[in-house]
């Protein structure tokens, strides 16, 4: 009997790539205005490559994307003899645009309906903010890897969600787009799962009732395949 639904965020409630690309474009425009030696010497793509290479040097922080990007910005500024303190302003701008998302079709309508039937929560490896996006009121709890100290599929982050929900794992269903992070992670702690398989990948052996191809199918799939309890 399902009492709680947890959701991944990026590529589950909204497409992520366009959000990141827009935020990085705004960051590049900031460089052009405030640190022109950087934008004169590096393209937007080269800055991204630099940030990725810097992040790889600190694998112990792989759960904290905010720290990794901020650290990368600090090192980039330092390399071009700009003050590292500028990184705080830049990071604030980046995160502002990081939270300007375009939801998949029917996300808000579906969350409105499901909130009246289930406890809702989120489990994310990303650094988006439900409050800044304007959807915090839909959810009873928000679990983020940067707060927990580990990222999905580590069972610890799912256990935090189980504790926050106040119900047993067999009474929770997790909805996400990433087979390893979301589906394998949920299975490890005996949670139910629903895979949003955008790319219609065939190689994983999952019963069709546990797979949808878009967010629009989530509500009907859950209500059709699982018993629920009035809460």
Give the integer Cα–Cα distance in Å for 182 and 159. 13
Neighbours of 51 (CB within 10 A): 19
- Domain 4-15+103-225 sits in CATH at 3.40.50.1000
Give the integer Cα–Cα distance in Å for 52 and 49: 5
The reported pLDDT for the residue numbered 129 is: 97
CA distances from 31 to 19, 44, 47, 95, 144 (A): 19, 10, 10, 15, 29
Quickly list DSSP for 36-88: HHHHHH--HHHHHHHHHHHHHT-GGGTT-HHHHHHHHHHHHHHHTT--TTHHH
* In contact, 198 and 213? CB cutoff 8 Å: yes
Q: What residue segments make up the domains of the chain, in order of their start?
A: 4-15+103-225, 17-98
At 230 the pLDDT is 44
Asked if domains 4-15+103-225 and 17-98 share a fold, the reply is no
Q: Is 191 exposed, middle or buried (0-12, 13-18, 19+ CB in 10 A)?
A: buried
Phi first, then psi: give them for residue 182, nearest 5 degrees. Answer: -95, -50
- pTM over 0.85? The answer is yes
**Alpha-helical runs (H) found in the chain:** 17-34, 36-41, 44-56, 65-79, 86-98, 107-115, 130-133, 145-148, 155-165, 185-188, 218-225
d(CA 116, CA 5): 12
Q: Is there a contact between 165 and 119 (Cβ–Cβ < 8 Å)?
A: yes
**Under 8 Å between Cβ of 39 and 32:** yes
- Convert the pLDDT of each residue in 141-171 to its tens digit: 999 999 999 999 999 999 999 999 999 999 9
Report the CATH fold assignment for 17-98: 1.20.120
- pLDDT, averaged per 10 consecutive residues of the chain (231 residues), comes to 96 97 98 97 97 98 98 98 97 98 95 95 98 98 98 98 97 96 96 91 76 90 71 41
| pLDDT given at position 114 | 95
Spatial separation of the C-alpha atoms in residues 35 and 97, rounded to whole Å: 19
């Amino acid at each position: 009997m399902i009492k709680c639904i947890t959701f991944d965020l990026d590529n589950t409630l909204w497409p992520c790539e366009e959000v990141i690309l827009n935020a990085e474009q705004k960051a590049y425009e900031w460089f052009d205005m405030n640190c022109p030696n950087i934008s004169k010497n590096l393209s937007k793509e080269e800055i991204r490559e630099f940030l990725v290479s810097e992040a790889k040097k600190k694998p112990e922080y792989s759960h904290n994307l905010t720290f990794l990007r901020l650290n990368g910005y600090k090192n980039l500024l330092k390399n071009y003899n700009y003050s590292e303190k500028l990184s705080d302003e830049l990071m604030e701008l980046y995160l502002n645009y990081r939270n300007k998302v375009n939801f998949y079709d029917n996300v808000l309508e579906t969350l409105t309906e499901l909130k009246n039937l289930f406890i809702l929560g989120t489990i994310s490896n990303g650094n988006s903010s439900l409050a800044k996006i304007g959807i915090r009121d839909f959810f009873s709890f928000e679990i983020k890897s940067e707060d927990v100290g580990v990222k999905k599929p580590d069972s610890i982050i799912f256990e935090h969600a189980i504790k926050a929900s106040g119900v047993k794992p067999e009474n929770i269903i997790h909805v996400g787009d990433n087979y390893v992070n979301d589906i394998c992670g949920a299975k490890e702690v005996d949670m139910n799962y629903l895979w949003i398989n955008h790319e219609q990948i065939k190689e994983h052996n999952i019963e069709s009732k546990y797979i949808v191809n878009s967010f629009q199918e989530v509500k009907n799939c859950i209500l059709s395949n699982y018993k629920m309890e009035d809460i």
